[in-house]
Structure 1
Amino acid sequence: MMLALCAGCGGGEESASSGDSGSKDGKQITIGYSQLGAESEWRTAQTESIKQAAKDAGINLQFSDAQQKQENQIKAIRSFIAQGVDLIAFTPIVETGWDTVLKEAKDAGIPVVIVDRDAKVSDDLYVAKIGTDSVAEGRKAFEWVDQYMKEQNKTPRGGGDQYQIAVLEGTVGASVSLGRSKGFNEAMQAAEDGSKYTIAMSQTGEFTRQKGQEVMESFLKSGGRDTIDILFSQNDDMALGAIQAIEAAGLQPGKDIVIVSVDGVKGAFQAMIDGKSNCTVECNPLQGPLLMETAKKILNGEQVDKMVYMDEGVFPAEVAEKTLPERKY
């Protein structure tokens, strides 16, 4: 297994706490956490992990759902500052636009932890980043594809000597989308047989199943039905939507079009068991315990790594049936 990195008033705030271990100077720790939304199975699992970990640690969690709007996250962070929480954590919707509000948190003496996605801010505005390495995820996706296509020795569906790749990108401007694209493209360029591949179509599916289906339908109608060899979906939910579009076009997903996606949710494993997908690269959403552990260390004055890592793997179809019962998300 490889190690990898990853760091709103719209939906209202919730509070969750229990136990007595989450204390600072004899008082219960309060963490304000701004989640970007609930666009996928993966995101739901991450949210549940954070809420449960806070309860288990005896930490009072003030939770806010930004509903995919950066302005809601900024409002939530300012609300946390006004409340005087002990620590602020957030999963940024996009990379940029955080300097002002995080400077406000710094001026208030409240440490900040960036979770899952990245934010382009100076190092002095946050204490740690927690999560997964999106560049590594993209690289692992291409490396699996390259090995699989060599083993299958398939002829490109559209003729010629290049495999045609379609890419379902994530949210525009999100660090995870940029990272997965970067890792995939760099691995393709560095591969010994990289010239055998070309990205023929690429468009955002916004990390949602519905949009993934819509964009895949567009790809297929614009000539991809007879030419696409490989689909790289930057999350599992978009891939599951794309599978519906591929089947509706009279093709066999996982056979006519090889599918590799990222996240490792149960739905992707079931699709592989059903013969409709080929591989998922894990992006571990169970980040709650690591966040709470890191928060406690910070508030106790302990040194923590600037980048804190999660364990992740690559799961091809041949291990799906055995692995699915062990999956927690």
Structure 2
Amino acid sequence: MKPHPRTALVALAVLLGAAGCAKSETEATAGPSEAASAQQQVVQTPAGSSGPTCTLDQFGGTKFDLKTATVGFSQSEKEANPFRIAETKSIKDEAAKLGITDLKVTNAQSQFSKQITDVQQLIAQGVKLLVIAPLNSDGWEPVLQQAAAKKIPIITVDRKINARPCSDYLTFIGSDFYEQGKRAADQMINALGGKGKVAILLGAPGNNVTTERTNGFKDRIKEKAPDIQISFEQTGEFAREKGQQVTEQLIQSNPDINGIYAENDEMALGAVTALKGAGKDPGAIKIVSVDGTRSAVQAIADGWLHAVVESNPRFGPLAFETAQKFLDGQPIPDKVIISDREYDGSNAEASLGEAY
């Protein structure tokens, strides 16, 4: 497993005071405390980098006590997806750890109109801080206007919204999705030896995760492996059942496909079900995906997946640390990009306990 650069760990300790997270990811056989540390999100901040920041004074809000404030968390998708389960659990667990007594959690059940209504209701209930996992990147204007009128800081996690940081919202915390796409492409290039036909199971439309994971993958293939042809693309909507359905269609219409890039693990596992149903052997079609769920890492160990690029959903500690730093008057970057590991045949079995 690839350890995080020391500079990234130092950046996390300086920026967010989380020096306790600085454990090596190579400790696959570590005890409970070490394993928990290895699961922690780590900020990916290159040494000497700089960018726009925001302070409480610039934002125009007033300081409040997180422990006694009403805090809202808006989850976007049904929690049948392990990513969403782990994400919500992380928010709840960290709030409890910090002694936050009034955390209100909503779930939009994968309906964008419901998420907008959910957040508007949270604002009406007097939240002082909003943490939002957006379903879509566009369409947030009604919420942003209401939050801005009350100077409510919004932290978005996992997906971005198309708006202005330090004005419409405070900051975004999440992965570099374009880089994830590039890293998935590198794994596919390695699996296929630089040539063959590849299908893409696209994520849900309307959000930056799908767009950037697709563009990163395609750009890297074009740059490094022009003999790999992307011959099929269809949305699997980030869902296992849909990933299975699309793959069943794929192996009928493109029987000579060599690889599948699934833009999340749920679609990849749906693809595995389809391949098993078609009588395919493990590894006959190389599958690369993004997320890092335990089921997907197990599928690597079992030979069905070639590799997985992690997208760490444990946003609780970093979200609340960022909020507290903001309330203490410290500058917050307009985006907080986390570092993600990779799983492949060399580390999957030993790393099962660190997957989610």
| TM-score interval, smaller chain | 0.7 to 0.9
Instruction: Give the structure 2 partner of residue 53 of structure 1.
Output: 94
Q: Which residue of 1 aligns with 2:170?
A: 127
- Aligned-partner residue type, residue 353 of structure 2: P
Matched position secondary structure for 1:321: coil
1:203 to 212, 220, 234: 234
What per-residue deviation string (whole Å, max 9, x for no partner) do you get for residues 293-318 of structure 1? 11222233332111112221111122
1:35 pairs with one of 75, 81, 105? 75
Q: State the 1:24 CA deviation.
A: 3.3
Aligned match of 2:141? 99
Contact 1:168/1:202 (<8 A) preserved:
yes
In structure 1, how many angstroms separate the alpha carbons of the residues matched to 2:340 and 2:248?
A: 31
Code of the residue aligned with 2:64 in structure 1: it is: K
Percent of matched pairs sharing the same residue? 36
**1:230 counterpart letter in structure 2:** G
Q: Structure 1 regions of 5+ residues with no counterpart?
A: 6-22, 154-161
Say if 2:264 is the partner of 1:235. yes
* Partner SS for 1:165: strand
Name the SS of the counterpart of 2:89 in structure 1: helix
Which of 216, 221, 233 is matched with 2:252 structurally? 221
The answer as to whether partners of 2:67 and 2:98 remain within 8 angstroms in 1 is no
How far does residue 100 in structure 1 lie from its aligned partner after superposition?
2.6
Pairs within 5 Å for 1:101-250: 101-123=143-165, 124-150=167-193, 162-191=195-224, 194-222=225-253, 224-225=254-255, 227-250=256-279
The Cα of 1:209 is off from its aligned counterpart by 0.9
Alignment of 1:81-96 (within 5 A): 81-96=123-138
**Mapped partners of 2:198, 2:65: distance in 1:** 56
Q: How big is the shift at 1:39?
A: 4.7
1:97-117 deviations in Å (ceiling 9; x for gaps): 112320210011111111110
CA contact (8 A) 1:166 1:228 kept: yes
Larger mean Cα displacement after TM superposition, 297-306 or 88-97: 297-306
Q: TM-score, normalised by structure 1?
A: 0.85
For the 8 Å contact 2:192–2:259, the answer to whether it is kept is no
Q: 1:25 to 1:240 in 2, by over 3 A?
A: closer
Q: CA deviation at 1:196?
A: 0.7
Aligned partners of 1:272 and 1:320 also within 8 Å: yes
Matched residues in 2 for 1:102 and 1:326: separation?
Answer: 36
Q: How far does residue 25 in structure 1 lie from its aligned partner after superposition? A: 4.8
RMSD of Structure 2 on Structure 1 (CA): 1.9
Could you tell me whether the CA contact under 8 Å between 2:191 and 2:286 is conserved in 1?
A: no
* 5+ residue gaps, structure 2: 6-42, 46-62
Partner residue, 1:19: none
Say if 1:39 and 1:208, in contact at 8 Å, map to a contact too: no
Higher strand share: 1
Residues 192, 258 of structure 2: 8 Å contact kept:
no
Q: How many residues align?
A: 296
Q: Distance in 1 between matches of 2:123 and 2:291?
A: 32
